[in-house]
């Protein structure tokens, strides 16, 4: 499938080549007046296709929800006893012919007519005032596009550049005209959602805003033009909703502190509480985003998401087992966040002598706590690299190690001892087979290696770091308190 590309200025232009691998929508809902249904007919003059697909957008994808067969006269009827949820839909065939239509507040009992040579150009609708307005907008903009194309053939490069700038302004004016005339139409709300946020240069007192203040304003008002409280918005092309959300996290909130992110996430989610599908999308995808994050301090965001939205019963879409799993993980992570005191561990070394993590930390300025196994491919690379950096800085910065075998069984122990000898791992090596607590559960050791950096009081300074990052932590952070 060829991706749909949408300009920030020229909205809703799409070119779909084919849709061979649609995921079928299973959404179904009963209304108060009986079972929801739709009946949409399409007539294509000169049609030669046996099958036409009807689909919708959702976040970054396109999904088929129905197919219809040619009755031999170019007629295709789409009819099901299920609801068409608000959003932008489309018809397409295997040849890439394509046009969109809106489902919003009107009952989806529309009929469309078009011609086979150009579906978008000739489309007409009956039974939907909103789609009539939608196509009127397209027709006006198409004439501008045709004019632009003709000008490109007859004008010099410099003339065309000036002409194009004028047409872009004209296009913006057209969009603003329709937004003003039809503010309650879904497609104008989509266009409104793509408008950039205007950031003031001065505050209410007339004082100039600093760059930081302007950025904070932008972050706080990022969704001012986005109707997050209306479920249609999640069923729009990716540049309308999906990319806006992605940019919020990947650009606007990038490298900010957890408390700042949490406050802005909660404000974003609160805007969606009148739209169950948007609420579900934002809570679920945001929780997953920070579950998978490699930024050590962002575990706090995941913990917050689970405790606020899953543990409280607001994640009604999630199964009880999924909720229990996430809440259990969040409870565990909360105890091993950066800044928290690492739980006590008492284990035995290769000579079966006991060692307490608390005592090791008290004896040294910093302690590396590591869970690893010689059967773990990643560990085989990471642990020797960590040891090399440890050797380089341990004396100057008083760094100790508390290295725990994460697979304490009869098969792995000989490999563990051999690996220690081969790589001269002359730090404190401990067998994880006997401990005062279930360290796998307490430290959420589901993958290895898992590494923490602790201070004298067992406070977690850092985690989720690579050998290269560890060296950076030493140089940039520990140097300050050497």
Question: If pLDDT is split at 50, 70 and 90, which confidence band does 480 have?
Answer: low
The answer to whether residues 225 and 195 touch, using CB atoms and an 8 Å cutoff, is yes
Report, as an integer, the average pLDDT of 173-178. Answer: 94
pLDDT tens across 120-165, in order?
999 999 999 999 999 999 999 999 999 999 999 999 999 999 999 9
Report, as an integer, the average pLDDT of 417-438. Answer: 97
pTM recorded for the entire structure: 0.87
Q: What is the pLDDT of residue 34?
A: 55
pLDDT tens across 43-95, in order?
999 998 899 999 999 999 999 999 999 999 999 999 999 999 999 999 999 99
Give one DSSP letter per residue of 361-416, joined into a string: HHHSSEEEEEEE-TT-HHHHHHHHHHHHHHHHHHHHHTEEEEEEESS-STTHHHHH
Q: Which two tokens stand for residue 219?
A: 């972050």
Q: With 70 as the cut, is the pLDDT of residue 310 above it?
A: yes
Q: With 80 as the cut, is the pLDDT of residue 113 above it?
A: yes
pLDDT tens across 313-338, in order?
999 999 999 999 999 999 999 999 99
Across 358-362, 377-381, 424-428, 471-475, least confident range: 471-475
Q: What is the CA radius of gyration of the chain?
A: 30
Tell me which residue has tokens 């007339």. Answer: 206
The answer to whether residues 230 and 240 touch, using CB atoms and an 8 Å cutoff, is no
Q: What is the pLDDT of residue 476?
A: 75
The answer to whether residues 361 and 367 touch, using CB atoms and an 8 Å cutoff, is yes
Q: What is the pLDDT of residue 14?
A: 33
For residues 265 and 396, the model is more confident at 265
Report, as an integer, the average pLDDT of 421-442. Answer: 97
Domain 30-131 falls under CATH 3.40.50.150: no
pLDDT tens across 186-203, in order?
999 999 999 999 999 998
Domain boundaries, the chain: 30-131, 140-192, 211-305, 346-481
The answer to whether residues 63 and 55 touch, using CB atoms and an 8 Å cutoff, is yes
Topology of domain 346-481, CATH: Glutaredoxin (3.40.30)
Q: What is the pLDDT of residue 6?
A: 28
Cα–Cα distance between 190 and 374 in angstroms, integer?
54
Q: What is the pLDDT of residue 206?
A: 87
């Amino acid at each position: 499938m060829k991706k749909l590309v949408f300009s920030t200025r020229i909205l809703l232009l799409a070119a779909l080549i084919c849709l061979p691998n649609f995921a079928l929508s299973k959404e179904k809902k009963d209304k108060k007046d009986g079972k929801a249904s739709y009946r949409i007919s399409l007539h294509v003059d000169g049609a030669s296709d046996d099958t036409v697909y009807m689909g919708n957008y959702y976040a970054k994808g396109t999904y088929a929800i129905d197919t219809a067969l040619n009755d031999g006269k170019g007629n295709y009827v789409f009819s099901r006893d299920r609801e068409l949820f608000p959003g932008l839909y489309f018809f397409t065939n295997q040849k890439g012919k394509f046009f969109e239509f809106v489902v919003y507040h009107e009952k989806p009992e529309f009929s469309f007519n078009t011609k086979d040579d150009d579906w978008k150009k000739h489309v007409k609708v009956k039974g939907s005032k909103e789609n009539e307005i939608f196509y009127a907008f397209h027709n006006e903009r198409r004439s501008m596009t045709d004019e632009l194309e003709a000008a490109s053939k007859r004008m010099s490069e410099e003339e065309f550049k000036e002409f194009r700038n004028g047409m872009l302004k004209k296009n913006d004016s057209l969009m603003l005209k329709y937004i003003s005339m039809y503010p309650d139409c879904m497609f104008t709300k989509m266009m409104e959602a793509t408008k950039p946020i205007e950031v003031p240069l001065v505050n209410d007192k007339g004082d100039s805003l600093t760059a930081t203040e302007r950025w904070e304003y932008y972050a706080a008002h990022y969704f001012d033009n986005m109707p997050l409280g209306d479920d249609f918005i999640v069923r729009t092309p990716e540049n309308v909703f999906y990319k806006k959300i992605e940019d919020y996290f990947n650009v606007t909130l990038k490298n900010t502190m957890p408390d700042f992110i949490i406050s802005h996430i909660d404000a974003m989610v609160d805007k969606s509480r009148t739209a169950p599908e948007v609420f579900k999308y934002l809570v679920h995808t945001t929780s997953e985003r920070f579950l998978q994050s490699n930024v050590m301090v962002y575990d706090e965001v995941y913990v917050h998401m689970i405790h606020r939205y899953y543990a409280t019963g607001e994640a009604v879409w999630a199964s009880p087992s999924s909720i229990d799993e996430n809440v259990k993980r969040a409870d565990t992570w909360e105890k091993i966040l950066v800044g928290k005191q690492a739980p006590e561990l008492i284990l035995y070394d290769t000579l079966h002598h006991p060692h307490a993590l608390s005592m090791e930390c008290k004896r040294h300025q910093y302690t590396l706590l590591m869970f690893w196994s010689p059967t773990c491919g990643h560990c085989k690379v990471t642990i020797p690299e960590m040891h090399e950096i440890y050797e380089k800085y341990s004396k100057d910065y008083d760094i100790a190690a508390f290295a725990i075998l994460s697979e304490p069984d009869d098969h792995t122990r000989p490999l563990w001892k051999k690996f220690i000898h081969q790589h001269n791992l002359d730090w404190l090596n401990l067998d994880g087979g006997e401990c005062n607590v279930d360290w796998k559960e307490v430290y959420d050791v589901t993958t290895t290696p898992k590494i923490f950096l602790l201070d004298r009081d067992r406070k977690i300074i850092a985690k989720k770091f690579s050998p290269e990052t560890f060296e950076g932590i030493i140089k940039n952070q520990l140097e300050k308190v050497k």
